[in-house]
Amino acid sequence: MTGSPGAAISKKILRNLKAPSGSNDTSLDIFEDRFQCRETGEDFGFVDSVPSLYGTLDADGVDVTGRVKSFYEENPFPNYEGLEEFGQLVQKGSQNPFSADLLGAIGYNKTILECGCGTGQLSHFLQLNNNYVLGIDMSLSSLKLAEEHRQRNQLQRSAFIQMNIFDLAIKDNSFDVAISHGVLHHTYDAKKAFGHIVQKLKPGGIIMVGLYNSYARIPTWIRSKLINLLGPKIDYVVRNRIVDERKAEIWIKDQYFNPHETWHSVDEVLGWFEEFGVAFRNCSPAILGTSGEGAENLFAKTEPGNSYQRAITQMSWIGSIAREGALFDVIGEKAGPA
């Protein structure tokens, strides 16, 4: 029944899973309190009643991963404002241009992988339109909130599993859409993580990656030096967006006291695309002077412009997206037949 997390993972998601570090030929069955590998009989127990396929940590990343994980265990992000009903979540999502455009661009009946789903709001919203969404994160306390919301509202098509981005317990070429919005810059190697995610995408599938921008993040960095002195009100989002106190506190921690963050440029991401066989589709906010400015939707095919246009665009972001986290998203299509 819907009450237990086990049975809540729909077949459309379950058939895309494999054992952590296992081969693509392994498959999993799900029980009340654990996954079991059909081929090897190995059990993967839930942790704190959250489904978990966490796998092993990369030796190079142990330090960063450990610090970031304990940070988000303490500060589940982005958190809910009070006891939010699904109806309110949908209202907010439809009024927010980013999530509304994203859902519109994704369309109907898709399987979606969200890497670094945190407390799961975006995953919950994207399961509208009969989409099936798997949200993964390493923070159990975040996933617990996501799962709690899912159960309370009896949502059938979003599912949450604790996983490690560098050892995804997901079969290659299995999802229609993969999203990682504001996550990879907290991993020890963002490019490597990107490569892992692309692997899980079907040929012709769409990937969207959202990262801190090297230009636009500068004002946040300056604020981080002042915030202890001047207080949280110097942050635009706290002043204008957040009502709930706990949520505001977590936003401030995430933005100014994160144990690890890296900054990235559009050109750098284009390099990743090249390396992992992803064709550029679009960028949000749009690259100035390109067809992206009039794009029909977030996933529309547009031109990435030249390096001069991209530099100007990113400088302009210091005056725009900088106040709300300085995230930019690049969208691409994995090579191969759609």
Partner 1 sequence: MNVLGISAYYHDSAAALVKDGEIVAAAQEERFNRIKHYDQFPSQAAAYCLKEGGLALDDIDYIGFYDKPLLTFNRLLETYLAFAPRGLGSFVQAIPVWVKEKIFQKGLILKELKALGLGAIEEKQILFSHHHHSHAASAFYPSPFDSAAILVMDGVGEWATTTLGEGNGSEINLAKEIRFPHSLGMLYSAFTYYLGFAVNDGEYKVMGLAPYGEPKYTSLIYDNLIDVKDDFSFRLNMDYFNYCTGLTMTNTRFDALFGAPRHAPEAPLGQRQMDLAASIQTVTEEIVLKLVAALHRDTGQKNLCLAGGVALNCVANGRILREGPFENIWIQPAAGDAGASVGVALTIARTLGHAEKNPANGTSDAMKGTYLGPAYGGEEIRSVLVDHGASYNELNNNELLSDIAGYLAGGKVIGWFQGRMEFGPRALGNRSILADARSESLQRVLNLKIKYRESFRPFAPAVLAGDASQYFDLEEESPYMLLVAPVEKSRRKTVSDADNARIGLDKLNVVRSEIPAVTHVDYSARVQTVHEDTNPKLHSLIDAFKKLTDCPVLVNTSFNVRDEPIVCSPEDAYRCFMATEMDVLVLENFVLLKEDQ
List contacts with partner 1 (CB under 8 A): 85-88, 90-91, 94, 108-109, 128-130, 153-154
Smallest separation (angstroms) from partner 1 to the CB of 147: 17
Please state, in angstroms and rounded to a whole number, the distance separating the CA atoms of residues 124 and 122. 5
Question: Which is closer to partner 1, CB of 87 or CB of 294?
Answer: 87
Nearer to partner 1 (CB atom), residue 94 or residue 320: 94
Please identify, using beta-carbon distances, which residue of 108 and 308 lies nearer to partner 1. Answer: 108
Q: Report in angstroms how near the CB of residue 126 gets to partner 1 at its nearest.
A: 11
Q: Which residue intervals of 60-183 are DSSP H helices?
A: 62-74, 86-95, 97-106, 121-126, 140-152
Closest separation in Å from C-beta 155 to partner 1: 8
As a residue count, the chain comes to 338
Closer CB to partner 1, 60 or 85, in the complex: 85
- Shortest Cβ distance from residue 206 to partner 1 (Å)? 17
Token pair in block for residue 257: 């006291």
For the CB of residue 205, give the shortest distance to partner 1 in the complex, in Å: 17
Nearer to partner 1, 92 or 191 (CB): 92
Structure tokens at 326: 């300085």
Sheet containing 327-334: give its strands across. Answer: 158-162, 132-137, 111-115, 175-181, 201-212, 327-334, 278-284
Residue 21 or 88 having the CB closest to partner 1: 88
SS3 state of residue 137: strand
Q: For the CB of residue 156, give the shortest distance to partner 1 in the complex, in Å.
A: 8
Give, as one character, the DSSP assignment of residue 66.
H
CA atoms within 13 A on the CB side of 286: 16
Residue 57, helix vs strand vs coil: coil
Return the number of the residue (9 or 209) whose C-beta is nearest partner 1: 9
Take residue 60 and report the two structure tokens written for it.
């190079």
Selection from 242, 221, 235, 138 nearest residue 187 by Cα: 138
Sheet with 43-45, strands from edge to edge, namely: 28-30, 34-37, 43-45
CB of 141: closest distance to partner 1 in angstroms? 25
